[in-house]
A and B are shown apart, each in its own frame.
Chain A
Amino acid sequence: MKPASPDREPRWSDHAVEQLVGRLLQLGVLLATVVVIAGAAMLLATHGGDVMNFRVFRGESSTLRSVSAAAHGASTLDPRGMVQLGLVLLIATPVARVALTLVAFLVQRDRLYVVLTAIVLVLLLFGLFS
């Protein structure tokens, strides 16, 4: 990509995108961690003494198996839902990073990388929402 003027860096230069991507990743991890800690504190306060058993897999009976279920659980201030929302935010962080790079390549009119990034984004969304 050609700079707009010799002494000013374009807004969507590779370097500028790197700074933006770095900030986004930092923000995503921070936000997810805060939500997880809040949920974990509630969980330990209410169920701290419970003996838990994870030897047996009972995935099918779990009620927090989608993005919307986690969001709903958190909105009712259910501790497990809150933790799960934090974990979903964490999983969504790399997805948001890919979406941001897609926008950057679109602005740069970098056709090959628009296609490659779009493929990655579609695959990630398929995994997360299918």
Chain B
Amino acid sequence: MAILVAFGSFGAGLLGALTGLGGGIVVVPMLTLLFHVDLRYAIGASLVSVIATSSGAASAYVREGYTNVRIGIFLEVATTIGALIGAALATLVPTSALAVLFAIVLLYTAWRSGQAKEEHLADTPHPWAVRMRLNGSYPTAEGEKSYAVQGVPVGFVTMFLAGILSALLGIGSGVVKVLAMDRAMKLPFKVSTTTSNFMIGVTAAASAGVYLHRGYIEPEIAFPVMLGVLAGALLGARVLARARTQWLRRLFTVVVAVLAVEMLYKGITGGM
């Protein structure tokens, strides 16, 4: 079983890296629907794999200068508080309700991945961004380019919600982070994706610490997931330049939509 789980996780990590949507969101449905793993073990294993891929990828991005460490730290205050609250809520929310919530997030992800992304850059920064020195610059083909940060309070509150979702569902909640950083704070794509990735590890570590004490992190199920997703993500990052992402993105959207329907069905019929 460990070998099968590792192969499945490898596929999730590969697809997640190639489409840029993260493999975490596929891991929990795969474990619960396909391998009939209890939702809590699935969440524990998924969180561990999220920490591995985010830290692995962040190590490269942060050194290349894309990541805005100050924005990361500031928003991590919101996501870690959210994650601890989410971990506390997890004991109160029935697993069937969690399955329905998961289905909603999956459907939203599928819908978002079908849409073209637009970069909205701002000319004037939010006053808080100036006071907190959040504005920065990043390397481009034409040299260092500076950017202004907008919507600081909205971004902070949205990240708090992203932290709660991350803990409740065992995901990186990249889709919500993109909402906060692309839409509200108007960061360039390269900066928002790398900074979001930088924060995901810290957010997941907050709830994973709590779940360790609750026995959600079961070594036999977590190790094939962690190693599989990490290997898949590493390979995905290698072949990214040569891959036909348009086609993969469509495949990913279909997979996510099918999983959403199944999660919804299980949640409503109480099969979780």
Contacts and interface: CB of A to CB of B under 8 A. Distances in A.
B123 interface: no
A103 interface: no
B69 A94 contact: no
A128 B218 contact: no
A82 to B, nearest CB: 8
Nearest to A119: B77
B35 to A, nearest CB: 8
B205 A80 contact: no
Interface of B is mostly: helix
Contacts of B215: 57-62, 65
Interface string B214-227: 11111111111011
Contacts of B58: 22, 25
Contacts of B120: none
B80 A117 contact: no
A94 B201 contact: yes
Contact of B222 (A18, A51, A83, A113): A83
A97 B203 CA distance: 12
B52 interface: yes
A71 interface: no
A3 to B, nearest CB: 17
Contact of B70 (A32, A59, A113): A113
B202 to A, nearest CB: 4
B213 interface: yes
Interface of A is mostly: helix
A51 B56 CA distance: 32
Given A64-B219, A80-B220, A123-B206, A28 B2 contact: no
Given A21-B62, A87-B48, A120-B76, A33 B213 contact: no
Interface residues of A, number: 64
B25 interface: no
A57 B40 contact: yes
Given A59-B215, A101-B69, A116-B74, A87 B37 contact: no
A93 B51 contact: yes
A90 B51 contact: yes
B69 A124 contact: no
Contact of A120 (B35, B59, B60, B77): B77
A55 B206 CA distance: 25
Contacts of A80: 219-220
Interface in A10-30: 14-15, 17-19, 21-26, 28-29
A40 B256 CA distance: 30
A119 B75 CA distance: 12
A58 B52 CA distance: 25
Contact of A84 (B1, B80, B219): B219
Nearest to A36: B223
A65 B51 CA distance: 18
A51 B35 CA distance: 13
A36 B2 CA distance: 13
Interface in B64-95: 65, 67, 69-70, 73-74, 76-77, 80-81, 83-84, 87
A8 to B, nearest CB: 19
16 contacts: A21-B62, A22-B63, A23-B59, A40-B223, A40-B227, A44-B2, A51-B1, A57-B215, A59-B40, A60-B215, A87-B226, A91-B209, A93-B55, A120-B73, A120-B76, A123-B84
Interface of B: 1-2, 35-38, 40-41, 48, 51-52, 55-56, 58-60, 62-63, 65, 67, 69-70, 73-74, 76-77, 80-81, 83-84, 87, 132, 201-202, 204-210, 212-224, 226-227, 230
Given A57-B215, A130-B210, 4 more contacts: A40-B224, A55-B38, A94-B204, A120-B202
